[in-house]
Amino acid sequence: MIDSLKKIFSSTDQESFSGQSKPDISREKSTQLYEKAKQYFPGGVNSPVRAFKSVHGVPLFIEKGDGCLIWDADGNEFIDFCCSWGPLILGHNNEKVRESVTAALQNGLSFGAPTALENELAELILKNNRFIEKIRFVSSGTEAVMSAIRLARGYTNKDKIIKFEGCYHGHSDSLLVKAGSGLVTFGETSSAGVPKSFAEETIVIPLNDRKAVEEAFSQFKDQVAAVIIEGIPANNGLLIQEKEYVHFLREITQQNNALLIFDEVITGFRLGFEGAAAYYDVQPDIITYGKIIGGGMPVGAYGASNEIMSRISPDGNVYQAGTLSGNPIAMAAGIAQLSVLKSGVYKSLNSKALAFVEALQRYVSAKNYKVKIFSAGSIFWIAFTDKEHIRAASEIDPQSMEKYKVMHRELLNRGIYFGPSGYEVGFVSNAHTKTDLEKAKRAIFESLEVVFRNGN
């Protein structure tokens, strides 16, 4: 086995690992901050997944970031593969983004009125994205999707939305639903406070199931305003869909006078400048984007054709507004980040990420570990499975999350920061160097040895 490993791995990969756990890092200050935070916030956090409920220990309180590194309140240093959940494609504290924000700050924080920066960012996006003709800036991905749904309903004069199990589209009432029993069913609320009548306008069906889509359109004929899908579902594992299936969704929506919405809050400007629309070579009717267009600042957007966007107020009768929409600081950050991305980052970034993923896969395959690393562009997901493909949420083994829990703890103790859930994906940024990735590979190998040392 060792000889075969030497033939296919780099020098780092060739080393043997003891499978011994590392001592836990100090979380004394993070623990103190968390106990105090619980006095102020539900669960001590301002977003649920941050609470570390799916992994060991208390959440880490982060003090700063630079490049691909972050530091917590206890002074622990980590190579970060969370990247603020994706938008920091250039890494933390990027110099050009920081300088652009600093310059904009000198003129004020917010005006609630148009600025030239909005025009500049919109032009940068629209001139380099053949899939949309007009855009509207908002303040978050959730707001972008909520607005896209309202636009789809207003444009089609229909009410029902088809969404898929395993796809997350923010926490708006219409989309915070889960599937009931049966092949095609109305959604059931997955959160208290969401009226049943809202959820009943959303039809939830399995991913990668053509028959379910066909039956949905048959059962609710002439009632479906839109089908919404993540560009590549990446909020519940990385559920990479086949190109033929995505094109099928395009065809069946057109046949039924419904719209196809791509939620590209994660994939937009991450897979490439034109996101999943270009990845699958398909023209959605509406596309939503997230904080990557603001360099990590609070921002989102939705875009479509001139015809569809003409329905948005003040041109049309679909109302959507926002005091902080087009915020000048977010626009300045976005102009800087997207200008760098447009200059030619993707080829080297995606190649770097692919080499990283392939090295991980070679290692686990040679060790016969039940692990598969799925990837698209610079997004990756470590799944504890022996399946060649996972295209639907139902194909994920919930018990595998116990292995991730062990791995996550071991990685933190080795200076590697992943998202605090085995369902979350990881991101390689342009700031990750070869040295950083070699260190991360070693830490992942060592952590996997701990996970599997007892034959688990």
Residue 87 within any structural domain of the chain: no
Active-site residue, 263 included? yes
d(CA 48, CA 52): 9
Give the burial string for 57-88 (b: 16+ CB within 10 Å, else e). bbbbbbeebebbbbbbbbebebbbbbbbbbbb
131 and 18 housed in the same domain: no
d(CA 133, CA 127): 9
CA pseudo-torsion sign 48, 50, 53, 59: negative
Q: Single out the residue in 275, 308, 342 at which a domain terminates.
A: 342
Please state which of the ranges 142-156, 183-197, 329-343 shows the lowest mean pLDDT: 183-197
CB distance 419 to 85 below 8 Å:
yes
Of the pLDDT bands very low, low, confident and very high (cuts 50, 70, 90), residue 288 is: very high
Residue 85 within any structural domain of the chain: no
Of the pLDDT bands very low, low, confident and very high (cuts 50, 70, 90), residue 10 is: low
Q: Which of 155, 168, 404, 423 is catalytic?
A: 168
pLDDT at 297 over 50: yes
Of the pLDDT bands very low, low, confident and very high (cuts 50, 70, 90), residue 190 is: low
Of the pLDDT bands very low, low, confident and very high (cuts 50, 70, 90), residue 455 is: low
Residue 359 within any structural domain of the chain: yes
Q: Across residues 37-61, what is the average pLDDT? A: 95
pLDDT of residue 13: 52
Q: Which of 13, 72, 209, 263 is catalytic?
A: 263
Of the pLDDT bands very low, low, confident and very high (cuts 50, 70, 90), residue 12 is: low
pLDDT at 6 over 50: no
pLDDT of residue 197: 77
Q: Across residues 310-329, what is the average pLDDT? A: 96
143-167 pLDDT per residue, tens: 999 999 999 999 999 999 999 988 8
pLDDT of residue 198: 76
d(CA 178, CA 193): 14
pLDDT of residue 214: 98
pLDDT of residue 181: 31
Q: Which of 160, 163, 291, 372 is catalytic?
A: 291
Residue 186 has phi, psi (to 5 degrees) of -65, 150
Burial class of residue 375 (count of CB atoms within 10 Å of its CB; 0-12, 13-18, 19+):
buried
* Number of domains the chain contains: 2
**DSSP structure class, residue 314:** T
Domain ranges, residue 214:
95-342
Q: Single out the residue in 310, 325, 342 at which a domain terminates.
A: 342
**DSSP structure class, residue 165:** T
Residue 90 within any structural domain of the chain: no
Of the pLDDT bands very low, low, confident and very high (cuts 50, 70, 90), residue 183 is: very low
Supply the CATH number for residue 307's domain.
Answer: 3.40.640.10
pLDDT of residue 49: 87
| Three-state SS at 116 | helix
pLDDT of residue 60: 98
pLDDT at 189 over 90: no
The CA distances from residue 285 to 217, 257, 304, in Å, are 18, 11, 6
pLDDT of residue 5: 37
393-410 pLDDT per residue, tens: 999 999 999 999 999 999
pLDDT of residue 168: 87
Residue 2 has phi, psi (to 5 degrees) of -60, -40
CB distance 333 to 89 below 8 Å:
no
| Three-state SS at 259 | strand
Residue 135 within any structural domain of the chain: yes
72 and 170 housed in the same domain: no
Active-site residue, 291 included? yes
Of the pLDDT bands very low, low, confident and very high (cuts 50, 70, 90), residue 442 is: very high
Q: In what order do the strands lie in the sheet with 160-164?
A: 134-138, 300-304, 286-289, 259-264, 224-230, 160-164, 202-205, 185-189, 177-179
